[in-house]
Every structure is written in structure tokens, then in C-alpha cells.
Amino acid sequence: MRWGAMTLRIGSHLSVAGGMFNAVDEAITLGFDALQVFTRNQRQWTAPPLTSEAIDAWKVALGRTGWKDSASRLVSHNSYLVNFASPDEASRQRSIERQCDETDRCESLGIGYCVMHPGAHLGEAAPRDKVLGTPPTKDELIGLRRIVKSLDATHRRTAGASVVTCLESTAGGGTNLGYDFAHLAIVLDSVKNPERVGVCLDTCHMVAAGYDFSTAPRAKGVLDAFQLACGDTALRVLHANDSVGERGSRKDRHEHIGDGACGEHCFRVMVRAAAAVNAPVILETPKTMSTDGRPMDEINAAQLRSYASRAQRLVRAVIVCALLAGVSASSGCRRTWKQKGQSMQVNRSDLAPGEVAQPTPSQHIKLEDASKDLAGGDYARALAQFREVLRENPLLPTAWIGVGDVHVAQQQWKESAPAYQRATKLDVNNYDAFYGYGMSLHMLGQYVDAVRAYHRAISLRPNDVNANISMTIVYLNMGEPRAAVAYGERAVRIDPKSASARTNLGVAYERCQRPSEAVAQYNAALELAEPSSRLLINLINALTADNRTSEAVLTAEELVRISPRAESWERLGWVRFKAGDWDASEAAYREGTVLDSRYYPCWNGIAINAINEWIRSKKGDADAATRARNAIQHSLEINPDQRRIMRLMGQYDL
């Protein structure tokens, strides 16, 4: 889309799985004009170098785009590990190494822009009510100086590179810098090679940081403030994301365009600002599908183009109106244009903005009947009735939720997710829609998007124990136990008698190396519900970590009584070994192999006991060595992929 000398270049951050060229081909398929990628794993410090084959395949794919100025359309996002503001010298040096490597990779691939988070100073966080545009705090200023020095060092080591490093505006959580335009301006004004540094503004981050886009004049005021601080040409990349968090929330949570707190004025102003300097507009919104099977990237891009197009039409209409009336472009003329536009629009739902469609009396009866069929297990009939209602009125969120519920009952998560998602679009305040959507995404392994949906559900019902438990579990699945603890503790406060809440909080405590607190939660859960094998195993592990071995043995013996399986005997053998009762330990492991001869952890336990006996004999007990060797061979025959056991064999020359 071109407006005179301006070009609107919309793209997205796309996956490079299977080869970087795949991201280019996907961009072509989606009709994009720009692209952002990770050139390497963003959560690891080291990565193999780019091969000549990978570079060639990337460039061949770029040739298929028809982009004559591809460098200015291509964006790399550097590693999340890089922190130029860190007070730790070793960490900063490692970050500089990583950024130099990223710059070299961008040069090899012909990528013009590399986006990076400015960094976190890790000192005392600024007050949450700190006014934007005011001078940085002492710790912030120290962090900004470190960023400047790190950028200068990077530029010295990559002299001659054409890649522009783009500092990304942040939401301002914790001690992260870059949430205030003043931070970005200080860096731009201080680096020795300012031509190699630009800015990537993120719409979600700006709103979360506290910038006000609520009206057209205020949105224009934000842009003016940025340009005054950083200059008219500082904007090199725009990340177009809506915000789950409200203005000033400091939460970095992205949402689909039009579904969050940013508002139309934000996107209209910022997209046109990007087009004015030919900056690529990159979507980082959730990678989901619409109910009609279209990628949401495609829909979000269309929404951005719509905002930009309407903004341009508004300018033309005001000018034409003023010429016809012989007056300046007044507010009265703007009202005339809006009224005309409204009369030409087709409102297929006949709903006022924000209004939610309601079923007719006959549709209400059908919905009730469908719900009864669902409760009775007649899924086919229930689904048919919900769909019949949707044929009459496809804008009923309750009917879409019903469709999602039917699929959930059958564990058909791929089918339930788009149904719930449609309901969230039709009713942005429907807890059941967001919770169902989050649960479906959770079961599909789309954890980040599930978190966003659960967050919205919790914002609608903060004291709903199920949503808080689900959030605890999804953060545990993501390997973020500290975040899980916060929601687990909230779930327990909401319902202290929930065994599930206490169990999951226990898991979160255990993974945060807080075993005594985990034990307390597991014991509380056991008082509230019948003991399950999984809960007892968790308790055994936590007791052992808390050096309460005798209690762990008693718990393991209870586990064997209620669930006499190989896994249970393996835990009993393990804790008895920890307690130094080695004969009883080996006996427990052997009992496990009798119940399930292919449960290799029991064979490993037998081997460990035999090795222990061999070592205690000062390696003179040949029978113990033979038992160890035979047990390890049994284990590896069942599961050859056991590096620890293979190392054990090599260590003791078995």
C-alpha cells in the first residue's frame, strides 16, 4: 500500500523451524511485505554457525518475494538473554559477544534491522507512579550508561556492518529500561555511532508503560513526544501488538489487534508513522487460527491495513468537505463525513458497539436442550443443536461456547479452541469463553497463548479458583515455577479446602527448591482428599529433599499398600537407599521388576545397590559387580537412550 512516498510494509515474526527459508515462504503465502525472525535459538547463549547451504536457501527464497529492497523489510530479534545494562561485567561481555554474533548473522543474511531489548539495570526499581518523560532514577541512569558502552563496544567489533540495532521500547516491568522515550533518547544521543542505532516501538509496550492513546489528539501527542525526544527518523521498526494489560499495567502481554487495550487511535497513528519512514510493521500477536481456519496473522494484518486505510480516507474526506464548503477543515465537516460513512456501512449484527447478541426465546430453549444432551453424554445431538442455533444467529457467544464444551467433553482440543476463540471475539467479558479457550490452548501445548486467555479469565473473575489453578499448572508446564507459586498461593487463599490447589502449589514450591513448604501443602491436600499415588510420590520426593528420610520411607510404604505397582516399589527402593537400608532397597527394586519386568528404573536401582555393595567391598566383590553389570544391561535393552547409566558403566568400568 503506497501513499505518495510512503510505503506500508506489514509482516510478522514467523517460525524458522525446518530451515530459515520456510519463514520467507510463509510470508509470501500470507501476502506480507516484511518479515521478522530469530536467526538462532533465542534462549541459548551458543548456537552453531549459519551454513552456506542455509544462507543460500534463504537468499533463494527472498528472490521469490520480489522485494527489491529486502534489507529494509527484514528484521532479526536478538536473544532474550542479552542484557547490556547488567551490573555484572562478565554478563555484559557475554552479551556483547552474543550481539556481535547476531550482527554478523544479519549481515550474512542481508537483514537490515536487529531488534534488541535495552536491558535491565537490576538495581532499585523506579516507583510505579514515576511520570513518563521525567529524568531517569540514579540506577536507571547507570544502566543506560552501561548500554551505551556495550553498544559502542559492539560497534567497534563489527565495524563496517550495515545492520541497524533497534532498541525496543518496553512495558517497564521490574528494572527493565526503555519504557520511557527519555531512556531511548539518552542512548541515541550518547553512542559514538548513532547511525547504527534506531528504535523499535511496540504498541503493546507503550500502552502498558503508560502512554495514553485513548483519543486521536492524545495518540498524536504520544507520537509528537517520541519524535521530540528521539528525532523524526529514529523509528526503524514498529511492533504492532494489542495489549492484554490496561494502560500503565507494566505487563508485557500481547493480544490480537483490536482485542486489547491499545485502541484504534494507537494503531492509526503508529502505522501511519511507520509508513512515513518506510519502517516495517511487525506483528508479534498469538499464532492461532480463526474459526474459519484462517491464520490470525492474516486477519491482524488486514485489520492494520484497515486502520491505515481509514486514516487516509479521513484526511481526503476532510479536505474535500472543506473545499466544497469553502471553509477550513472544521470539526463540523468531520461529523458530516462520519455520518455519511456510517450510513454506507453494513452492520450485519445490528448490535451497538460492545453489545452482546442474546438468543430468542426459541433459541434459548434449543440451547437448554443442547446443554441437557451434553450433560447426558449425547454429544452428537448436542453439537447438532448448538450448530442449528448458530445457523440462525452466528453471533451468539453462548452457542459457540456450547460447541466448545462438546468438543472438550470428547477431548477434541483442536476443535474446541476455535469455537471458544470465536466466543471471546463476540463477548469480551465472557469468563467461560476465555477459560475454555485457555484450557484448549493449554491442552494443545500452546502455553503462551493459554496464559493470555487465562489472564483475561482471571481479570473477569479474580476469585475463581479453577482459573488460578489452571494458571499455576500452565506456568509449571512452561518451566516457570516462580510465576506458578503466585497463582498457586492465590488459589489456596481463594479456596483453602481445594486439594487440587494445594497439590499444585506444592509442586510449584518443590520446583523452587522450597521442600518444607511443599511438604506442608501435600500433607494438607492429603487431609482434604483420598491419597493418590501421584500425590504420595510428590510427598516422598519433597520429604527426601527436606532430609526427612524416615517420614519418606513411611510414606513410600503407604504408597505400596494403596498402589502396588512397579513405580511405587521403585520409590520405596529409592528412599530406603537414601536411608542406608540397602538390602531392603534392593528387595523393593526387585519386587518392582517382578510386577513389571520392563520398568527399567527398577533395574537401575538394582544396579546402584550392587555398585554400592561392590564399592563398599573395595571392589573385591565380583558377584556384586556382575549383578550391577547384568542389571544395567537389562535396563539398556529396554531403553537404550540413558546417557547417565551409560556414563555410570564407563565410570566404574562395568
Where is average pLDDT lowest: 44-48, 418-422, 464-468? Answer: 44-48
Per-residue pLDDT at 361: 87
Judge whether residue 511 has pLDDT over 50. yes
pLDDT for residue 352: 63
Separation of alpha carbons 509 and 92, rounded Å? 31
Q: pLDDT digit string (tens) for 434-471?
A: 999 999 999 999 998 999 999 999 999 989 999 999 99
**Residue 334 pLDDT:** 30
Report whether 333 contacts 325 (CB < 8 A): yes
Domain boundaries of the chain, sorted by first residue: 2-43+68-312, 597-654
Q: What is the pLDDT of residue 6?
A: 53
Given 56, 64, 80, 316, the catalytic residue: 80
Mean pLDDT of 531-538: 89
The 10s digit of each residue's pLDDT in 469-506 is 999 999 999 998 999 999 999 999 999 999 999 999 99
Catalytic residue among 98, 196, 239, 407: 239
Is the distance from CB of 71 to CB of 112 less than 8 angstroms? yes
Cα–Cα distance for residue pair 381/327, rounded to 1 Å: 64
Average pLDDT estimate for 93-102: 96
522 is known as an active-site residue: no
Above 60 in pLDDT, residue 395? yes
Q: How confident is the model at residue 513 (pLDDT cuts 50, 70, 90)?
A: very high
Active site (annotated) includes residue 202 = yes
Could you give the CA distance from residue 597 to residue 56 in angstroms, rounded to a whole number?
Answer: 52
| 284 among known catalytic residues | yes
Active site residue 43: yes
Confidence of residue 141 (pLDDT cuts 50, 70, 90): very high
Catalytic residue among 13, 77, 442, 627: 77
Q: What is the pLDDT of residue 4?
A: 38
Please tell me which residue in 284, 480, 557, 567 is annotated as part of the active site.
Answer: 284
Are residues 585 and 605 in contact, defined by beta-carbon separation less than 8 angstroms? yes
Beta strands in 531-628 (DSSP E): none
The one catalytic residue in 13, 73, 92, 117 is 117
Confidence of residue 309 (pLDDT cuts 50, 70, 90): low
Instruction: Please state the rounded mean pLDDT for residues 179-198.
Output: 95
pLDDT tier, 427 (very low <50, low <70, confident <90, very high otherwise):
very high
pLDDT in the model for residue 351: 61
Catalytic residue among 43, 348, 391, 644: 43
pLDDT number for residue 333:
33
Share of the chain above pLDDT 90, in %: 72
> Alpha-carbon dihedral of residues 602, 540, 473, 379, nearest 10 degrees?
70
Q: Which of 204-208, 328-332, 533-537 has the highest mean pLDDT?
A: 204-208
Q: Which residue has the cell 470539526?
A: 331
- Note the pLDDT tens digit of each residue in 557-610: 999 988 889 999 999 999 999 999 999 999 999 999 999 999 999 999 999 999
Q: What is the pLDDT of residue 654?
A: 60
Q: Over the chain, what is the mean pLDDT?
A: 88
Segment of 102-111, 402-411, 474-483, 601-610 carrying the highest mean pLDDT: 102-111
Three cell numbers at 13?
Answer: 515474526
The answer to whether the beta carbons of residues 239 and 201 sit under 8 Å apart is yes
Strands (DSSP E) along 471-520, which ranges? Answer: none
Q: Which of 205, 247, 250, 571 is catalytic?
A: 205
- pLDDT-based confidence at residue 129 (cuts at 50, 70, 90): confident
Q: Has 527 been annotated as catalytic?
A: no
Q: Which of 26, 101, 140, 252 is catalytic?
A: 252
Residue 5 pLDDT > 90: no
pLDDT-based confidence at residue 325 (cuts at 50, 70, 90): very low
Residue 422: pLDDT over 70: yes
Q: Pick the range with the lowest mean pLDDT from 10-14, 44-48, 109-113, 318-322.
A: 318-322
Q: Quick check: is 456 catalytic?
A: no
pTM of the model: 0.52
Residue 117 among the catalytic residues: yes
Residue 265 catalytic?
no
**Active-site residue 121, yes or no?**
no
Q: How far apart are CA 577 and CA 599, in angstroms?
A: 18
The domain over range 2-43+68-312 is classified in CATH as 3.20.20.150? yes
Percent of the chain, pLDDT > 70? 92
Q: How confident is the model at residue 353 (pLDDT cuts 50, 70, 90)?
A: low
Report whether pLDDT(314) > 90: no
To which residue does cell 510427598 refer?
539
Let me know: does 286 contact 296? Beta carbons within 8 Å. Answer: yes
Adjacent-strand bridge partners of 114: 76, 165
Average pLDDT over residues 48-77: 94
pLDDT at 2: 41
Is 168 noted as a catalytic residue in this protein?
yes
407 is catalytic: no
Assign 41 a pLDDT band (cuts: 50, 70, 90).
confident
Cα 96 versus chain centre, distance = 26
